[in-house]
Structure 1
Amino acid sequence: MSFRKLLFFFLLLLVCQGLLAQESKEHTVSGKVVEANSGTEIAFATVLIADTDTKQPITGTTTLEDGSFELSFNASNFYIEVSFIGYQSKTFDTVDTSLQSINLGVIVLVEDAEQLDEVIVQGEVSKMEFKLDKRVFNVGKDISSTGMGALEVLNNVPSVNVSIEGEVSLRGSAGVQILIDGKPSVLADDPSNALGTVTADMIESVEVITNPSAKYDAEGTTGIINIILKKEEKTGLNGSVSINTGAPDNHSLGFSLNRRTEKFNLFTQIGAGYRSLPRDSEATNQDLINNITTSSVGTSFRNETFNNITLGSDYYLDDFNVITLSGNFAYEIEDQPSETFFSLTDNNTGENTQWSRVEVTDANNPKWQYELNYKKEFRNNEDHTLGFSAIGSFFGKDQSSEFNNTEIIGTDIPPDQQTTTEFQQANYTFKLDYANPLSEKYEIGAGAQYLISDVGNDFSVSDLENGIWVPNDDLTNNFDFNQDVLAFYGSGSYEADKWGIKAGLRIELTSLNTLLENTNESNDRNYSDFFPSLHTTYKLTEKVSFQAGYSKRIYRPRLWDLNPFFNIRDNFNIRTGNPNLLPEYTDSFELTSIYSVGKVSLNSSLYYRLTTDAIERVSTFEDNVRVTMPMNIGTDQVTGIEFNGKYVPINWLTLNGDFNFGYFIRKGSFEDQVFDFDGERWTARLNSKWSLPADIDLELTGNYRSGYLVVQGEVSETAFMDVGIRKKFIKGKAVVNLSVRDVFSSRIFETAIAQNNFTSVNYNQRGRFITMGISYGFGKGQAMTYSGGRRR
């Protein structure tokens, strides 16, 4: 399907949505659910529409965070029931069914003392929720993520893709900023093992923000992925324990405990586990000038033992002031055995050399983070707030590797080698935010942020010569990276019943210094940037609304992009950084429509991104070795269409799907090579959830990712499927999950590069993962509105 046809289809869809909404004659029911004693809004309460005669459900929904709801349906004889676990249900069976619009007003629910003694308060939320400036993926509804790591969770989120190497992309583009609980975190900074100690059991939800407002850090050219960790919010003593096991080895134990009183909220989370991540790899390089072929085939493992503990406390000074102090410590022990078979063939003479290379790598990775938060709510309005946070974090890596070569055929093989790495990274973040709703329609906000990054990487290589380890000065380096970013922002918004607008401006001052101590080469840069943002929304009808947004973003090269170190794991394929790399900038535009009627909801977006000084990894070839280095290659324009939909054809079946199509135009050159080309790529995901008898849920997810062009070659298409099944026991307190990731072992990542002087093909595969998990929650008490807020 051509891009023009897809664009026409998108515009036609927007028009049809408006027409359908205006011609619809369905019933619309709305209202707001609150708690009897305090008047607090109840989020995620269930609203059921059922047939009066058969008592069978017709449709339903859950309330939003402010307790409100609205749904549409077709029926002539029905009643309405509003319920929430721990409260007495309320039934409306005398409503005037001749009315098209039925407003139930404020619905007050009274606590049910007997239920509170028997059950845990749990709110059932949709798997995907759409909000003004973001989409929220609720991990607890994703059965196939059971026992998996955070990267596997991200790979299930619409619009997000995680490669086998762990690179995260959004709508097909890298340059994503990953936050944890809205802030930078040491847990997401390690490129070789990002989010390694975070498991699915620890995650509440994932927010995808494609056009962030000025309040957010401008880092991340394609947007922000914000991982929200679980935090218990119920009074009294509450907790949970989870156990997971799987094959290949994937074993973990998690425990959380929370004690909430009138003044204190004490919380802790402990996790430990072991996992093995095997990967099969193949690589073939062809020297077209000298007619020499080099190849490597092998299997590598990443065996990790990890431990994680979080301790913290919220202290409520009074009804309007709360202080939170928390700390996290994580420790990983890595073992990376691998064996690779190498071959070098001179096709002119037929001469062939073969050898095997065994790698033994051990690493210890300590990580810790401490955080102080203060939040003040003003008496005139709970949304009138002042917040301050100070975060300090550290990540270290002490790694040693040995590479032992054994001759198979021939004599001219590389020497045995040893490497040692001492990596240390310290980050400090200070943030101040102020929000003031001047009236029901107008709100202003302002804030400041100061980020300090101090990173050092000492990497040494030694060759075995005549039984003696001799330092290799050509590959050894000690690289320092220091970066400070000072930011200020201001924003203002207006929101009426049908129309709203929010505008903001962020200013960031960057100071960067790098030093290669081996050669005393330094690189100092100081620059200032302005990052405007604009968001607007228009509510056409109760069922159709439109949103538009613009933001400017930046991707600053990090240590691994700038450090001219060599990865020597593969003799024929190595990666290096580029100390002269510049930041890339992106202007992002987006138009979104949200349509909901009856059992169907659809979110469709048209977006455009223009990136200047685009960073791409460019490969060069010399002496049978392919060297890959990041380079600033011209501009990148992407025009795309995205659809996210949900359909509930029958009560026990829910279908969720998303489709993303992008058309890109590349302009740029490197040395004497021109990289002007255009192409397209698209992804599709279909998820079906089956609610079976005996509290059993079955989930099937299919994924397809098309092939696409890159600056020097292409990436092949791939398709894979995940399956999950869940069974609840003891009124939902205990849950057993079974998941199979990549059922048919078809998730393959293959790239091919074709140049005038060489070709290169790389193949990687992880394989099938099977995991079973058991979790149990204990404790009781009423649900609080949110942690860190005004006590009700």
Structure 2
Amino acid sequence: MKTTYYLIFLSLLLGSQQLYAQVKVLTITGTVKESANKTSIPYATVMLRDKADDQMIDGTTTDDDGYFELHSDHRDFYIELSFMGYLSKKITDFEEDGAVLNLGDIFIEEDSQTLDEVVIQGERSRTEFQLDKRVFNLGQDISSTGASALDILNNIPSVSVNIEGQISLRGSQGVRILINGKPSVLASEQGNMMGTITADMIERIEVITNPSAKYEAEGTSGIINIILKKEGEKNLNGSITLNTGIPNNHSLGLSLNKRTDKLNLFAQLGVGYRTFPHHNKTRSKDIANNSELHTLSDRDFNEEFYNLILGTDYRINKSTVISLSGQFAYEKETTDSNNDYTLKNLEGSVTDVWSRNEDSYADNPKWQGEFQVKKDFDESGDHSLLASATGAFFRKDQVSDFQNITQIGNRPDALQKLNTDYKEGIYTFKLDYTRPFSSYYEWETGTQYVINGVSNDFAVLDQHEDEWIPDPNFTNVFVFDQNVLGLYSTLSREKDKWGAKLGLRFEYTALDTRLEETQESNRQRYGDFFPTVHTSYKFSDKYSLQAGYSARIFRPGLWELNPFFALQDNFNIYTGNPNLVPEYTDSYEVTSIYHLDKVSFNIGVYQRITTNVIEEVLTVEDNISIRKPDNVGRSRTTGLEFNSKYTPWDWATIDIDLNYNAFSRKGTYNQETFGFSGDRWTSRAMGKVKLPANFDFEAAWTYESAYETLQLDILDNYFLDLGLRKKLLKGKAVANLSVRDVFATRRFRAVSSREDFEFNRLGMAGRFITLGISYGIGKGDAMEFSGQKRF
């Protein structure tokens, strides 16, 4: 029987070969290119159609070099080529040459109308929901163009940034900032991330309010992961950008990307100069000493910066890619500030008037290097192994000169000098393994080790008889060493309507701080387990529900632990506390997501329970206000969040974000009970309108309600941002004008009133105006740093 089957199969095979040999098959080849710059177009659609009934005979898409190949035994056909943003082309006249029809180079032209429509569709930023995070895909929104990463974060639902650059998520600070899923010196307080990472470099931002065990447990409010652009075009691409603004915001950026089948080379160069003004008014009343101090402060922080990024990705084979990149940045900072003081008695009589002027400068070199290997075990890349090592170093060498001048009173004129030699190194080693067991189940596991070392050599010197004498109360070397080892594993199931993800992470922390001169030290060793649970259910294409729980930790960093004083204004001082212990938070949330025809919105409820709460404590003595962080107890925050996007017409979009939370705090400080409760809410409305002649306009209004902290009442805050953009040269060039805080109303106002003292502070930065223009090189897009693109 088997022999019979073999004979039948052999007969069919020979018969088919003979039949095929009797029919002459024609091979059609060609290369599709742009008519403007003669570059190849990959992934263009090529079809053979029957001339009689237009039915498709064969079809394909061009490869990375624009080349295609088709086969047909039919002769009465025509060829049709199409690609998004280009005019379709038909070829009906051609001559056969034997069994091959070589069409050579075929040029197609851009469709300016269609191209504009495509660009407009791609401009809108949008939010999508995944199992354990919210993903904000960055479009070319007006406020995004030429803006800093801080500006972008301030436009994301649930995220807010105050005028001092502090980031909050749902009204709470302690957010963990990652770059491409890894900690970075650019994301640290000392790294000035918001200056070196601009909106043009960002592809998307992931807001993870309840992180899974895959991520570090650091951050009580959650994690914000900034993902830089990864897609690339072949050949040489890039962009050049030029910005200017008031106050000083002048910069020039050049990005280039050269990509082949196996190699991707990218480079980025940026230079610039900018000024950050800040104005403060402070009034402190010391009732016991019958005095009231008024302080008026004007401070200009000026920065000259240079930034160079070089890197390469090399594809060893279809499954393995090696990435190597490095960044060097150099900043020169100068600060000019003037503080005017007026001291009165409580009857209103002036007793003293003096001023304190600051002139400081600093050199800040920093570098970062990364080596990464990714191995894919299947074509989709879902089964993969990723190993990476990142090293970053930052240094600040600063000298500040202070001069005290007395106009009224008996205070002696004085000269003071502050020297700072700050060094920080961060090294991160990660190994992540992802393995799908089927189309529904996925397992993730991995480990991470982070080494963070800081040395801060801080000296305050007073001039006595033309000699600089160190002040022993303010001169020391603070050393901070923290190592964290993490291990994690997660298991997820996602099928049809329902998905769930379970995870467990263990982290062991070794922290040592010490003051070299006084031999004071603090040693902490602790290990913690952090479980996570996430689930989602899709009721329909228009409605789904998410829920999650995670355990979090907030480890005090250098800013909170460093005991040195900031002496720009020696009557309004901040100092750290090396005895702080970590905060621990249990975070719960449920979010419902709706998608209708012209509107989408989500409503969520959440609760956070935090122990060892870290909060600033204010003390006033002899009119000197000192703010210092301390562990003050336990808090419970329950909130409601609403985000919506409404598109009534194709040319208009309205975004509304509301967040309300009620909180209660129980704690003690210096044997005094600090229990209180309150609420807080924030709202933002943003409108975007497309105008004739390729103009776009945007307006964003933000309101933040008053709220209460341990000792302070923070007053409400509101501000308006405007933007106008014009596309030029079919979108290859973009001109942008933005005005932030149009009416200069964005202010920080804090008030404290107790039996023995009163405190009032007002801070503001003022209005910022920026004008920018960008031009795309090759296939690079305007306002896009394509040098950050990867495989």
Among candidates 95, 108, 114, match of residue 114 of structure 1: 108
Q: SS at the partner of 2:775? A: strand
2:401 aligns to what? 402
Structure-1 separation of matches of 2:186 and 2:570? 31
| Correspondences of 1:10-409 after superposition (within 5 Å) | 84-85=84-85, 114-115=108-109, 124=122, 126-132=124-130, 133-191=132-190, 193-347=192-346, 350=349, 352-379=351-378, 381-409=380-408
Q: Does 1:731 align with 2:730?
A: yes
2:580 aligns to what? 581
Query: In the alignment, is the contact (CA less than 8 A) between 1:322 and 1:788 conserved in 2?
Result: no
Measured after TM superposition, the shift of residue 780 of structure 1 is 3.1
Query: In the alignment, is the contact (CA less than 8 A) between 1:116 and 1:780 conserved in 2?
Result: no
Further displaced range: 192-201 or 355-364: 192-201
Structure-1 separation of matches of 2:403 and 2:242? 38
2:424 aligns to what? 425
1:701 aligns to what? 700
Unaligned ranges ≥5, structure 2: 1-31, 33-43, 45-81, 90-104
Measured after TM superposition, the shift of residue 670 of structure 1 is 0.3
Measured after TM superposition, the shift of residue 478 of structure 1 is 0.6
CA-to-aligned-CA distance 1:326-382 (integer Å, 9 cap, x gap): 011111111100111012223369451111111001011111100001101113652
Q: SS at the partner of 1:645? A: strand
Query: In the alignment, is the contact (CA less than 8 A) between 1:611 and 1:637 conserved in 2?
Result: yes
Q: Does 1:530 align with 2:529?
A: yes
- Code of the residue aligned with 2:307 in structure 1: it is N
Query: In the alignment, is the contact (CA less than 8 A) between 1:188 and 1:194 conserved in 2?
Result: yes
- Code of the residue aligned with 2:346 in structure 1: it is N
Further displaced range: 156-165 or 268-277: 156-165
Further displaced range: 581-590 or 409-418: 409-418
Measured after TM superposition, the shift of residue 200 of structure 1 is 2.9
Measured after TM superposition, the shift of residue 115 of structure 1 is 4.6
Measured after TM superposition, the shift of residue 221 of structure 1 is 0.7
Q: SS at the partner of 2:559? A: helix
CA-to-aligned-CA distance 1:429-477 (integer Å, 9 cap, x gap): 0000011111011111100000000111000001122332211001112
Structure-2 separation of matches of 1:533 and 1:414? 59
Query: In the alignment, is the contact (CA less than 8 A) between 1:88 and 1:112 conserved in 2?
Result: no
Aligned in 2, Cα 1:194/1:780: closer, same or farther, shift over 3 Å? closer
Measured after TM superposition, the shift of residue 413 of structure 1 is 4.4
Query: In the alignment, is the contact (CA less than 8 A) between 2:691 and 2:697 conserved in 1?
Result: yes
Aligned in 2, Cα 1:787/1:340: closer, same or farther, shift over 3 Å? closer
Structure-2 separation of matches of 1:352 and 1:335? 33
Query: In the alignment, is the contact (CA less than 8 A) between 2:507 and 2:528 conserved in 1?
Result: yes
- Code of the residue aligned with 2:85 in structure 1: it is I
Structure-2 separation of matches of 1:259 and 1:676? 60
Query: In the alignment, is the contact (CA less than 8 A) between 1:566 and 1:575 conserved in 2?
Result: yes
Measured after TM superposition, the shift of residue 613 of structure 1 is 0.3
Query: In the alignment, is the contact (CA less than 8 A) between 2:238 and 2:779 conserved in 1?
Result: no
| Correspondences of 1:503-582 after superposition (within 5 Å) | 503-582=502-581
Aligned in 2, Cα 1:780/1:576: closer, same or farther, shift over 3 Å? closer
Further displaced range: 227-236 or 436-445: 227-236
- Code of the residue aligned with 1:604 in structure 2: it is I
Structure-2 separation of matches of 1:162 and 1:381? 38
2:494 aligns to what? 495
Q: Does 1:747 align with 2:746?
A: yes
CA-to-aligned-CA distance 1:99-130 (integer Å, 9 cap, x gap): xxxxxxxxxxxx99625799899671541312
- Code of the residue aligned with 1:766 in structure 2: it is A
Q: SS at the partner of 1:382? A: coil
Q: Does 1:674 align with 2:673?
A: yes
Structure-2 separation of matches of 1:485 and 1:232? 33
- Code of the residue aligned with 1:124 in structure 2: it is G
Aligned in 2, Cα 1:428/1:167: closer, same or farther, shift over 3 Å? same
2:616 aligns to what? 617
Measured after TM superposition, the shift of residue 411 of structure 1 is 1.7
Q: Does 1:641 align with 2:640?
A: yes
Query: In the alignment, is the contact (CA less than 8 A) between 1:430 and 1:450 conserved in 2?
Result: yes
Further displaced range: 204-213 or 228-237: 228-237
Q: SS at the partner of 2:414? A: coil
CA-to-aligned-CA distance 1:727-758 (integer Å, 9 cap, x gap): 11122111111100001111011111222321
Further displaced range: 225-234 or 207-216: 225-234
Query: In the alignment, is the contact (CA less than 8 A) between 2:126 and 2:139 conserved in 1?
Result: no
Query: In the alignment, is the contact (CA less than 8 A) between 2:355 and 2:404 conserved in 1?
Result: yes
Structure-2 separation of matches of 1:281 and 1:273? 27
Structure-2 separation of matches of 1:592 and 1:154? 21
Further displaced range: 285-294 or 385-394: 285-294
Further displaced range: 230-239 or 732-741: 230-239
Measured after TM superposition, the shift of residue 319 of structure 1 is 0.6
Measured after TM superposition, the shift of residue 142 of structure 1 is 2.9
CA-to-aligned-CA distance 1:664-704 (integer Å, 9 cap, x gap): 11111101321111111111111111011121111111110
Measured after TM superposition, the shift of residue 201 of structure 1 is 3.0
Measured after TM superposition, the shift of residue 215 of structure 1 is 0.8
Structure-2 separation of matches of 1:724 and 1:371? 36
Structure-2 separation of matches of 1:567 and 1:85? 56
Measured after TM superposition, the shift of residue 153 of structure 1 is 2.6
Q: CA RMSD in A?
A: 2.7
Structure-1 separation of matches of 2:110 and 2:255? 21
CA-to-aligned-CA distance 1:283-333 (integer Å, 9 cap, x gap): 111002222111210210010111111111110001110000001111111
Measured after TM superposition, the shift of residue 205 of structure 1 is 2.8
Measured after TM superposition, the shift of residue 279 of structure 1 is 1.0
Further displaced range: 262-271 or 376-385: 376-385
1:76 aligns to what? none
Structure-2 separation of matches of 1:229 and 1:652? 28
Measured after TM superposition, the shift of residue 657 of structure 1 is 1.2
Structure-2 separation of matches of 1:636 and 1:697? 45
Measured after TM superposition, the shift of residue 635 of structure 1 is 0.9
Q: Tell me the TM-score normalised to structure 2 length.
A: 0.84
Measured after TM superposition, the shift of residue 565 of structure 1 is 0.6
Query: In the alignment, is the contact (CA less than 8 A) between 2:331 and 2:365 conserved in 1?
Result: yes
Query: In the alignment, is the contact (CA less than 8 A) between 1:214 and 1:491 conserved in 2?
Result: yes
The aligned length equals: 692
Identity of aligned residues (%): 50
Q: SS at the partner of 2:237? A: strand
- Code of the residue aligned with 1:529 in structure 2: it is D
- Code of the residue aligned with 1:775 in structure 2: it is S
CA-to-aligned-CA distance 1:500-553 (integer Å, 9 cap, x gap): 101111110100111111111111111001111111000111210000011111
Q: SS at the partner of 2:383? A: strand
Q: SS at the partner of 2:194? A: coil
Q: Does 1:439 align with 2:438?
A: yes
Aligned in 2, Cα 1:551/1:675: closer, same or farther, shift over 3 Å? same
Query: In the alignment, is the contact (CA less than 8 A) between 1:353 and 1:413 conserved in 2?
Result: no
Q: SS at the partner of 1:731? A: helix
Q: Tell me the TM-score normalised to structure 1 length.
A: 0.84
CA-to-aligned-CA distance 1:234-259 (integer Å, 9 cap, x gap): 11211111111010111111111001
Query: In the alignment, is the contact (CA less than 8 A) between 1:145 and 1:739 conserved in 2?
Result: no
CA-to-aligned-CA distance 1:74-120 (integer Å, 9 cap, x gap): xxxxxxxx98435969xxxxxxxxxxxxxxxxxxxxx9962579989
Q: SS at the partner of 2:381? A: strand
- Code of the residue aligned with 2:108 in structure 1: it is E
CA-to-aligned-CA distance 1:51-72 (integer Å, 9 cap, x gap): xxxxxxxxxxxxxxxxxxxxxx
Structure-1 separation of matches of 2:685 and 2:87? 35
- Which protein is bigger by CA-based radius of gyration? 2
Structure-2 separation of matches of 1:158 and 1:380? 35
Query: In the alignment, is the contact (CA less than 8 A) between 1:154 and 1:160 conserved in 2?
Result: yes
Unaligned ranges ≥5, structure 1: 1-36, 38-44, 46-81, 90-110
